[in-house]
Structure 1
Amino acid sequence: MASVQLDGVRKVYDNGQVAVHGASFEIADGELMVLVGPSGCGKSTLLRMIAGLEEISGGTLKIGERVVNDVAPKDRDIAMVFQSYALYPHMTVAENLAFGLKLRKHDKATIDARIKAAAETLGLTAMLDKLPKAMSGGQRQRVALGRALVREPSVFLLDEPLSNLDAKLRHSVRTEIARLHRQLGTTMIYVTHDQVEAMTLGQRIVVLKDGQIQQIDTPMALYDRPANLFVAGFLGSPAMNVLRGIAQPEGLLLERGALLPWAGPPSLPAGVLGQPLVVGVRPEDLHLAQADEPGAFQATLDNVEPVGNEIFLHLQAHGLDLIARIPPRSLPAPGAAVWLRLDSARLHYFDPATEARIEPAIVPGPATA
């Protein structure tokens, strides 16, 4: 096992396009770090530079204590799992698992022992004689994981390994990867565009946009305190509601002139009263209310999405499209008027010019004797 350190790592292509702008962070020995962001954000390029499949244009990359900028991929002690399973179709599971070990001239006893251990870990023991075509997508992805596992590398690199699986299989294999990491304690770097995968797998997450790191933190820290509007909107499903207006003591004066009232005194950042402000509201912090509740405002119910243990409400109010997440309950039909209120204690604030997070004021608690 080994740590991975990036210091100002850049990737600039021959046409001048900058794919990664000076990435600097450290992945601790035994950590599962997720790189997440939309298509084209540079996450796979960053992973490929760590693997040695892309040349580094600038900066320093270390695996353990060794600088590996100019070290060949085969000498970096890494194993990579790709989006495509990349299994040899004419080889059995056992032969696929053994192939890389044979190339590295391991003896038969070592190869057999590693195959047996990997097969037991991944539930492949009964499938060792099967060809890939006789297996499901989830089973083939487990073979691809096993082929990396038998290498016993210092670092595992996983490039969107679940993208080709259906929703049920994605959940199953995602659980297996998390269990595998807990069991082995190996350093893993996992790339995905799926924020659910990122939030459920990563011990820490690197959020990227346009080749630049936006924030690095634990999943819940990113969710509760996003560094900017991009992170706030990217992480969370359904996405955060974004409201723009002028901060007033009694509410947010929207661009169309309507006032969206606060439900109780909000922890407004210092100096924002009378100034343009972006307010973020998570769907679970937008509640159904009674007309006479403080801070209640009227909205039109546009669509109802029941998903079992919760319901997503799509609403319109003062020209805004809003989403609320509520527990199951009886609801009026789409088109009906409903009353809503914001949870003033859980609002997020952003600078409208820079889109950076603005910390709310600290509200003093009650005095103690």
Structure 2
Amino acid sequence: MTTLQLQNIVKRYKSQVVLDNLSLDVADGETLVLFGPSGAGKTVLLRLVAGVIEPDEGRVIIGGEDMTDVDAEHRGIGMAFQNFALFPHMSAFDNIASPLTATRSSKEAIVAGVGKVAKLLKIDHVLSHHPKALSNGQKQRTALARALVGSPPVLLLDDPLRNVDAKLRFEMRLELPRLLAAQGATVVYVTQDYKEAMALGDRIAVMAKGRIRQIGTPEDIYNAPADIEIARLFGDPTINLLDVTPKAAGAGIDVELSGVKVALPHLPASLAGRSLVIGIRPETLHFVEAGTPGAIPVEVEAETPLNEKTVTLVRVSGGREVLVSRPAGTPGPVAGTAHIAVDGATTFLFDKETGQRVAAAGQSAKTQGAAA
């Protein structure tokens, strides 16, 4: 069942189009992450779903009912913001209880509802405290509890972990999926952190300039990015991008890196001769011994240990830089000449002019654009 539907949404501010004919479905109980750079339209979209602002065109359907012209307080939506937005003169209990108070729930229902969600979020011991006496982590959990307490059919979370420390952010990435599953909420979650998007989303909608450029599972987005910009956004260290001109090789193609042919049998021979860009994830590259079939000669420039992994900067022919990532503690060269191997099946090809990923026959990136 689809809980939330956005149909051909357009939102303008004067001459600027902020949301451009955007359509989106979110299934019952699904967590959909809206991911993209600042200015993509993510928060505007959330506010539009909440009823804080109205679309210039299109419809907002919640639970099968057209809510486009329904006031925010009657949509039954929970929302948490990145700045917490707690009432400073109220205790944590009263902040959490405010949605139930607004709907004139009984005192017993309010006490039971607040107690349940506070215990779930492990803040039941600070319910009497005012926001100024709470840590950032407790403020963040209080804001989440307020959004959850009324068991809303749709929960909107606007980058709620942005203003908490790294340790709490990591912990909440682990806890939130369990919490949201226990609540049974349908969630739209906004973030600019790709790791957060990958950890929390059942699906991810990548936004830019008021449109959805790609939508799919975290695996879809990472393993089949629709274009170069999306490929760059997902991954740390960032994807390697090198200009290539493929040549036909039987039913497939191959490309040349530092004078060594790399076979791409999963892509059609019709791509031969085109100006393309090959994308290679750093973790799919491996150091190998000289003489290994397909070994590509490189010059090692620098090595950077990054806790769980080590990233090595190397240069291939023509001075082009390539990043190689390997698990921490794995041996590898630190200087001089070395060799790397590329598994052609794990690479991507992009059109050099449009930036769009070139898909194999019968394969396509899951994209959703102006009239999805």
Instruction: Give TM-score, length-normalised by structure 2.
Output: 0.90
1:162 aligned residue: 161
Contact 2:2–2:25 at 8 Å: present in 1 too? no
Q: Report the count of equivalent residues.
A: 356
3-state SS in 2 of match to 1:304: strand
Counterpart of 2:228, as a letter, is L
- Indicate yes or no: 2:326 matched with 1:329: no
Residues 19-72 of structure 1, C-alpha deviations (whole Å, 9 max, x = no match): 111111200111110000111111111111111122201111111111111111
1:175 aligned residue: 174
3-state SS in 2 of match to 1:221: helix
3-state SS in 2 of match to 1:144: helix
1:148 and 1:200 mapped to 2: Cα distance?
21
2:293 and 2:25 mapped to 1: Cα distance?
47
2:3 aligned residue: 3
3-state SS in 2 of match to 1:271: helix
2:291 and 2:278 mapped to 1: Cα distance?
24
User: Counterparts of 1:71-220 in structure 2 under 5 Å?
Assistant: 71-220=70-219
1:197 and 1:191 mapped to 2: Cα distance?
10
For residues 297 and 26 of structure 1, do their structure 2 counterparts lie closer, same or farther at Cα, with a shift above 3 Å needed? Answer: same
2:342 and 2:360 mapped to 1: Cα distance?
16
Counterpart of 1:125, as a letter, is D
Counterpart of 2:123, as a letter, is L
3-state SS in 2 of match to 1:148: helix
Counterpart of 1:80, as a letter, is M
Contact 2:29–2:181 at 8 Å: present in 1 too? no
Report deviation, 1:155: 0.6
For residues 108 and 190 of structure 1, do their structure 2 counterparts lie closer, same or farther at Cα, with a shift above 3 Å needed? Answer: same
- Indicate yes or no: 2:238 matched with 1:239: yes
2:319 aligned residue: 319
1:367 aligned residue: none
Higher mean alpha-carbon deviation, 149-158 vs 301-310, is at 301-310
1:133 and 1:184 mapped to 2: Cα distance?
28
Contact 1:269–1:359 at 8 Å: present in 2 too? no
1:268 aligned residue: 267
2:65 aligned residue: 66
1:323 and 1:127 mapped to 2: Cα distance?
47
- Indicate yes or no: 2:341 matched with 1:341: yes
Contact 1:2–1:30 at 8 Å: present in 2 too? no
1:365 aligned residue: none
For residues 123 and 92 of structure 1, do their structure 2 counterparts lie closer, same or farther at Cα, with a shift above 3 Å needed? Answer: same
The gaps in structure 2 that reach 5 residues or longer are 363-372
The gaps in structure 1 that reach 5 residues or longer are 363-369
Report deviation, 1:2: 6.8
Contact 1:98–1:147 at 8 Å: present in 2 too? yes
3-state SS in 2 of match to 1:123: coil
Residues 61-104 of structure 1, C-alpha deviations (whole Å, 9 max, x = no match): 11111111111111111011001011122322112112232232
Counterpart of 1:329, as a letter, is T
1:350 aligned residue: 350
3-state SS in 2 of match to 1:26: strand
1:190 and 1:144 mapped to 2: Cα distance?
14
Counterpart of 2:323, as a letter, is I
3-state SS in 2 of match to 1:261: strand
Contact 2:9–2:21 at 8 Å: present in 1 too? yes
Higher mean alpha-carbon deviation, 308-317 vs 238-247, is at 308-317
Higher mean alpha-carbon deviation, 229-238 vs 114-123, is at 229-238
Report deviation, 1:249: 5.1
Higher mean alpha-carbon deviation, 113-122 vs 266-275, is at 266-275
Supply the RMSD in Å over aligned alpha carbons: 2.0
1:323 and 1:182 mapped to 2: Cα distance?
38
2:255 aligned residue: 252
For residues 265 and 173 of structure 1, do their structure 2 counterparts lie closer, same or farther at Cα, with a shift above 3 Å needed? Answer: closer
